[in-house]
Each structure stands twice: as C-alpha cells, then as structure tokens.
Amino acid sequence: MTQPVVGWESTEPVPEGTQFNSYLNVRNGRLHMEDLDLAQLFLGGSGPGIGRTLPSPLEIVYLPIISRQIEFMNAVFAQAIEDVGYHGRFIYTYASKANAAEEVIRTTLSAGAHHEMSSTVDVDIARLMIRRGLLPQDRLIVCNGFKTNGSAYADNILRLKDEHPNVIPVIEDLSEIAPFLNSRHPFEVGLRQKSYGPNTTLTEMDAANSRFGLASNNMWKAADYIAAAPNLTLKLFHNMVGSQLTDKASFVDYLKPGIELYAQLRQRHPSLSIFDFGGGMPVAMTLNFDFDYAAFARQLLTTLKETCARYHVPEPDVMGEFGRYTTSEHGAHLFKIITDKENDSETPWYIIDGSIMSSFPDSWALGEHFIVLPLNHLDKPFQRVQLGGITCDSDDVYPPKKSHAPLYLPVETDNLYIGFFSIGAYQEMLGGVRGSKHCVLPEAMELVVYKDENGRYQFDLLPGQTTADVLRNLGYQLI
Ligand SMILES: Cc1ncc(COP(=O)(O)O)c(C=O)c1O
C-alpha cells in the first residue's frame, strides 16, 4: 500500500510557487489558502486579510471551497450523463452529518444542494433553513437514520411535512413504516438496502454484518406494504456501501448487487425513480490522493444503464449524499509551535498550542491522516519531526501512532505556525462544539472566510471559549 503523503517530504526549503494541491500554494515563503496568506493572520503582512493579528490556535472555515466542490461534482455528472447518453438526472445532496454548522448548511443550500439528515435536531435545522428561504419547495429533504415509531425524530419528520412537500423518509427497518402509514400526510418514501461493506453479490450483501438497512427479503416486503398503503409512494432506493472509497472500480463493484436489486424492484414498483448511492465519495485528505471522479461517474451510469436495459426498466435519477466530499477541504486548524523538544527521542518533538486528539479524533481513533504544512519559514531548511499536543495524553501525537508517514517541518521554530488541512468533515462533530475538552483546553476562535460578489475576501470572527465558559460548563460557580 502506498504511504500517505501528509506534507513536504524533504529537508530542502519548499520552492517558491509550489502548489501543493488545488488550494494550498507557497508565495514569499508563506503558505496561502488560495489567495489568503495564512501566516498573516498571526504575524501581519500585506495582501488581503482581516486587518489585525489573531491569537493562536485558530480554526479556518473557508466557505468558497464548499461551493466549488458542489459545482465541480454537478459538472462531472452533467458531462458523464452526456457522454454515456444517460436518461436520468443527477441529484447532489449534502449529508449534513459531516458538518452541521450553520454557515456550512447555508453554503451548501445556497449552492443548490439538496439536503440529507439523520436525527431530530437535524429536522429543526431544516425547519430554520426553510423559514429563511434557503430550503425551497423544489429541494428534496432525505431523512436517513433510525426513526422508530413514536421517536422524537419520526414525530418531527411528520411535522416537517407540514412545512415542506418534499420530505422523503428512508425506511431502515419494517417497524419504521408505521408512523408514516398512520399519518394524515401523503409521503414519498425511500427504502435502505443493507449494503454497507465490500459485498459484490446479493448473497454477500444479505449476509453482511451491518446494522443499517433491510436485508433483501424484507426489502421486498417493505416495498409491498408501501405499495398497498394509500398515502405512501415508493420513490427512492438507498444503497450506501462505504466511506472514503478511493478505488473507483471497487466502489462501483460494491454498488452492483444493489443496482441489480433496484432494477428488479423497479419492475414491480414503477413509482421508484431515484437510485441513491449514499455517501462514500472520497476526497483528498493527503497530498497523494488520486481519484478520477469523471471515470467513476461514467462507470456508475454505464452500469445503471446496462442493468436497467437488461430488466427493461427506465434509468433512474442518481442521487449521492456527499458528506466528507463536500466539507473536508474547507476546514483548517492552525496552531503555533510553542517548543521544540530534543530529549533523545528518535525524532524531535514539536509541541503545538492545542490538542491533536480532541481536534481531530479520527487521527487518534482510526489512524486517519490529514495534511500538515507550515504557514511560514517554508523558504528555510526542513527536518523530520513528530508533533505533540499540549495535553498530557500519550496518544496526543501526529502522525498517528502506527503510521510510517514522514512529517517534515522547518528547522527554524521561532514564531513557527502550522496548519492541519482537510479536517472540515466529521472532526468537529466528533470532537464536539463547545463543551469541555481533554485537559480542559478551551476551544479556539473561528475565522469564517467567504467572498463577496466581487470576489473579495470577507471575514466573520466567532469567539473561542473563555476560561469562564469552560469552568461554568463543568458545573463550577464562579465566585
Ligand atoms: C446515510 C448516510 N448518507 C451519507 C453519509 C455521508 O457519507 P460520506 O461522508 O462518506 O459522504 C453517511 C455517513 O455516514 C450516511 O450514513
């Protein structure tokens, strides 16, 4: 397996003008996120910026990248539909579980995305967006997640239907049909196939150990119950097979048993018209990421086309629920190196003014890699180092403990700032927003970056936690 490339892999300075990926580049020895000089946020300088320096650590929420991702994927599928001569539409849906922050949801909806959710609070987020005019009537609202009879989530979905015509509950289990069947509303509904995992046959898929979705015998039963219900219409087939699936051929292979089942179901239930492949679309979290989105889209549409032709059923609209792909790259977390420690460890330790494990739980829990680059001193020599968080936890390190990925940072550590990049999906949701964190470290200030209609940078600053916030949160009375 190839080693993840997490940053600059040399002792040499980074050449001026280096473009690390689509949004990180080097100018005047400093790292820029598109045109934004990141070191300037701490050290000052010329060029577009906030006009003052900010304290470290600092979270960056770079909204233009979210819109760019959505536009790119819509263009990829539009081209693939033309290339393949496909007869269905592509429906880009944002999976809000990846990052439910207000500015993120606002941006995905403004870019035209449909909306996917998984819990009762999500319903209230959708309601707020409807009231603000950001989630208009022509958008689909796909409700995944467990929605058992009588649960707050099921009840809330029923109420949401009063405010929006296109709420589509996706049934995970036979028992989830009842609340919608017994409601006074007509509902278009989806059915989720138990398909999570690397299954390439229907038998494997049915035998898989997954708590999501219906095995195929119950899928047929559920489809028949829905067809018999006067107020329910079967609209969508949900077939999510995994997460961050970087091998496009395997991705399509895992979808094939579900595609076959979709076509069989469609023969019996002509109201079915959406094939939803769920999440799993990969995104660059390291610098050696390579995924041919266009080839994937063509391969998926070709498979759907061929399968539907075999069963003499129309080609469905294709939905993807893009979580990680939509939000990973818009998030960065910047830190200062507060000390470099040579204590006869194999590799010198650089200590940051924050926590790696509570800021990026996937790195600690799953050994996930993210991009790490210095913000300044890029024009100076580098050395191989390891990063440590400021907590007392031995797991608060980067690269992750079992990783062999080398990490190089400048030898010069005077006023050295670094950034973790592509951390905008799931990390904040898993680590928690507000609340109390490991070793009672307060949460960092957040800089929300967006562009006005003339393409000029605009900024909103969201305050971090104060000591008093953390103490109060832990139950202390401040006397
Ligand atoms: C039902 C469903 N849809 C979409 C997603 C988003 O997946 P991803 O972040 O891989 O795009 C998830 C993630 O767990 C999910 O459970």
Q: According to the 3-state scheme, what is the secondary structure of the chain? A: CCCCCCCCCCCCCCCCCCECCCCEEEECCEEEECCEECCHHHHCCCCCCCCCCCCCCEEEEECHHHHHHHHHHHHHHHHHHHHHCCCCCEEEEEEHHHCCCHHHHHHHHHCCCEEEECCHHHHHHHHHHHHCCCCCCCCCEEECCCCCCCCHHHHHHHHHCCCCCCEEEEECCHHHCHHHHCCCCCEEEEEEECCCCCCCCHHHHHHCCCCCCECHHHHHHHHHHHHHCCCEEEEEEECCCCCCCCCHHHHHHHHHHHHHHHHHHHHHCCCCCEEECCCCCCCCCCCCCCCCHHHHHHHHHHHHHHHHHHCCCCCCEEEEEECHHHHHHHEEEEEEEEEEECCCCCCCEEEECCCHHHHCHHHHHHCCCCEEEECCCCCCCEEECEEECCCCCCCCEECCCCCCCCCEEECCCCCCEEEEECCCCCHHHHHCCCCCCHHHCCCCEEEEEEECCCCCEEEEEECCCCHHHHHHHCCCCCC
* Cα of 211 from ligand 1 centre, angstroms: 14
Q: Tell me, what's the pLDDT at 184? A: 80
The residue-averaged pLDDT of 376-404 equals 96
Atom of ligand 1 nearest to the CA of 242: 10
Closest-CA residue, ligand 1 atom 7, reads 279
Question: Which of 171, 214, 243 to mutate to test ligand 1, by most ligand atoms within 8 A of the CB atom?
Answer: 243
Percent share of the chain, pLDDT over 70: 100
Instruction: Band the pLDDT of 433: cuts 50, 70, 90.
Output: confident
**Nearest CA residue ID for atom 10, ligand 1:** 280
More confident call, 406 vs 433: 406
**Does 1 score more than 80 pLDDT?**
no
Stretch 222-231: mean pLDDT: 96
pLDDT in tens, 286-337: 999 999 999 999 999 999 999 999 999 999 999 999 999 999 999 999 999 9
Beta-bridge mates of residue 141: 115, 167
The Cα 45–Cα 459 span in angstroms is 17
pLDDT digits (tens, 9 = 90+) for 239-268: 999 999 999 999 999 999 999 999 999 999
Ligand 1: nearest atom to the Cα of 322: 11
- Ligand 1 atom with the smallest distance to the CA of 238 is 1
Which residues, judged by CB distance below 6 Å to any ligand atom, belong to the binding site of ligand 1? 95, 97-98, 116, 144, 240, 243, 278-281, 321-325
Confidence band, pLDDT 50/70/90 cuts, at residue 270: very high
- Cβ–Cβ under 8 Å, residues 233 and 189: yes
Asked if the peptide bond before residue 399 counts as cis, ω within 30 degrees of 0, the response is yes
CA–centroid distance, 142 to ligand 1, in Å, is: 12
Query: Mean pLDDT in the chain?
Result: 96
Using most ligand atoms within 8 A of CB, pick from 92, 168, 239, 240 the residue to mutate for ligand 1: 240
If you take atom 16 of ligand 1, which residue's CA is the nearest one?
279
- In the reported structure, the alpha carbon of residue 324 is separated from the centroid of ligand 1 by a whole-number distance in angstroms of 8
